[in-house]
Amino acid sequence: MANKQVLSPLPGTFYRKPAPDQPPYKKEGDPVAAGDTIGLVEVMKSFHEVKSDVAGKVVKFLVENEEAVTAGQPLLEIDG
């Protein structure tokens, strides 16, 4: 089955953790259910949850924590 990509809904800064002292929402190899939060995109001090629309397993993240992203940019791949 082909890998699916989760895309950024907005331009901003991508965060893999809910807070600097917290573990990441998901790591490579973790299972993902449709609707799971996989990260946050921050735009002008407003944080927006990024949720997976597919179930599977995280194959790899395509962007780093705290990296600037554009709307529609692939954030990670899920084997689903």
CATH number at residue 12: 2.40.50.100
For residue 7, what are the contacts with CB-CB under 8 A and spacing of at least 6?
A: 72, 73, 74, 75
Distance CA 14, CA 48 (A): 10
pLDDT band at 6 (very low <50, low <70, confident <90, very high): very high
Residue 42 domain boundaries = 3-79
How many domains is the chain partitioned into structurally? 1
- Span 13-57, pLDDT tens digits: 999 999 999 999 999 999 999 999 999 999 999 999 999 999 999
Instruction: Output the pLDDT for position 5.
Output: 96
Structure tokens at 30: 């973790």
pLDDT of residue 8 exceeding 90: yes
Instruction: Output the pLDDT for position 80.
Output: 78
Q: CA nearest 14: which of 67, 62, 60, 50?
A: 67
Instruction: Output the pLDDT for position 60.
Output: 96
